[in-house]
Structure formats: C-alpha cells, structure tokens
Amino acid sequence: MGQMAEEKAVVLVSGGLDSATTLAIAKSQGFECFALSFDYGQRHRVELNAAQTIADRLGASLHKTICLNMDSIGGSALTDAQIAVPTTGVGDAIPVTYVPARNTVFLAIALGWAEVLQAHHIFIGVNAVDYSGYPDCRPEFITAFEQLANLATKAGVEGQRMTIHTPLIDLSKAQIIQTGLALGVDYGVTISCYQPSPTGEACGVCDACRLRAEGFRQLGVVDPTQYQANAPI
C-alpha cells in the first residue's frame, strides 16, 4: 500500500495571533498547508512580514500574498487613514475597524486558489468569543460561505465538497493561546495591533491589542509582544 498523500488546505494567514494558531492546528491535523495573505491597503501592513515568517516557521508549503486595493473603497479605520482606530476599549456595536466584506473577499480568493490547487479545505481563524463583533466572523456567515463555495466552483459542480474549517470559532482568546503554545507557536513573531509602528511594535490600546493582552493575562502567560514606548502596558 502506497503512502497516502497529505490533503491540501489553503490557510488564511494575516500575521496575527489567531491565524498563526490556525495554521499550526491545520498542520497538526496532517494537512499540507498553502498560506494566503492579503496586501489590501491595511494600515498595519507590517503584519505581512510576520505572515511570511509564520508561514515559514510553521511549515507551509507555499506562501502567497494577493494584492488588492480595498483602501480605494475605504469605509474602515483599517483602510482609511482619515478614520482613527478606536483606543477606548471593546464596545457592543460593530466598530469602525470593521472592513466591509473583508472575510467574504478573502474567502472568495482562497476558494479560487483552492480550486487551482485541487484542495478541498480552507482554514480561517475567525473567532466569535473574544472578538470585535464583526458580522463576518459569525458561525452563520461561515456556514453560508461553505454553501456558496459548493455552488461557485467547478469542483462543487463535479460533486467535491469544499470544507471551511474554523478551529478557533468557539475558543476564548486564552484557549487559543494555550492551543498554539502546545503546538509550538512562537507568538513573539505575530502582530495583532491595528496600528503598530513601522517596525511592528504594538500600541497597546486598540481592540486587537486589548483582546490579545487580556488573553495572555487570563492564561497567566507572559505576552512576548513588543510595545511602543508610549504604550500604557
């Protein structure tokens, strides 16, 4: 009996904590991983350097970065320099850091690459517990995308199911970090901050910094994040 080839998976890797953990989980489940990042005009573009490092260290077979100018659409603090990143804490409403339809766009492009690779699995590190309330991080969104994926593609027409994996969706930030540490993720190379310095030091006050810091605090583990000199942490 010949050795079974690994199943291929496209893994969305932003450079942050969640997607690094997701890549480590996909690898641990035996998938051959194809890491996909996006240069979409985000103000925290330094995260793309982190994405490359993470893809390399966690054993992705290939890392691809797709460029698209979502900043020409604007509508988010992450893609429009005129809209400030909120720093006063995570609230109940959908915040201005929400990028309209971002996960729909990212998953659509991942779907296209998966089809070319003949991969039937896509991993995305969305989380609906310690998160900012973005609509496209919810389980019902992921279910709807999976249904779409199976109608949208040649593979789907030919009866091959595409599965969207969201291994973090029900985990707290502390549980995500615990999982990643057990799998050997070096969180020192990940960047969560929405407005880091050009060299990647975190601000400590945006929602992403707050959620991350709180996760490490709950777990009782030191966060290796490098902060800017004026950060209140």
Give me the residues that bind a second copy (CB under 8 A), please. 64, 66-70, 72-75, 94, 98-105, 107-109, 111-113, 115-116, 135-136, 138, 140-141, 144-145, 147-149, 151-154, 156-157
Closest to a second copy by CB, 66 vs 90, is: 66
The reply to whether 220 sits in an annotated binding site is no
Please state the closest distance from residue 102 (CB atom) to a second copy, in A.
7
- Find the angle CA(183)-CA(116)-CA(54) to the nearest 5 degrees: 25
The reply to whether 193 sits in an annotated binding site is yes
- Find the angle CA(48)-CA(49)-CA(53) to the nearest 5 degrees: 115
The reply to whether 67 sits in an annotated binding site is no
The reply to whether 206 sits in an annotated binding site is yes
Q: Which of 120, 122, 124 is nearest to 156 (CA)?
A: 120
The reply to whether 15 sits in an annotated binding site is yes
What's phi and psi for 121, nearest 5 deg? -140, 135
Please state the closest distance from residue 44 (CB atom) to a second copy, in A.
18
Q: Which of 164, 158, 160 is nearest to 124 (CA)?
A: 164
- Pairing state between β 32-39 and 8-12: parallel
The reply to whether 225 sits in an annotated binding site is no
Closest to a second copy by CB, 108 vs 219, is: 108
Closest to a second copy by CB, 85 vs 185, is: 85
Indicate the SS3 state at residue 77: coil
Buried b (16+ CB within 10 A) or exposed e, 122-137: bbbbbbbebbbebebb
The reply to whether 14 sits in an annotated binding site is yes
- Distance between CA 228 and CA 10 in Å, rounded? 33
Please state the closest distance from residue 28 (CB atom) to a second copy, in A.
26
Please state the closest distance from residue 144 (CB atom) to a second copy, in A.
4
Render 89-113 in DSSP notation, one character per residue.
---SSPPTT--TTHHHHHHHHHHHH
CB 194 within 8 A of CB 228: no
Closest to a second copy by CB, 70 vs 202, is: 70
Please state the closest distance from residue 181 (CB atom) to a second copy, in A.
32
- Who contacts 221 (Cβ-Cβ below 8 Å, separation ≥6)? 177, 181
Please state the closest distance from residue 115 (CB atom) to a second copy, in A.
4
Closest to a second copy by CB, 135 vs 188, is: 135
Binding residues for ATP: 13-23
Q: What are the binding residues?
A: 13-23, 193, 203, 206, 209
Annotated binding site for Zn(2+): 193, 203, 206, 209
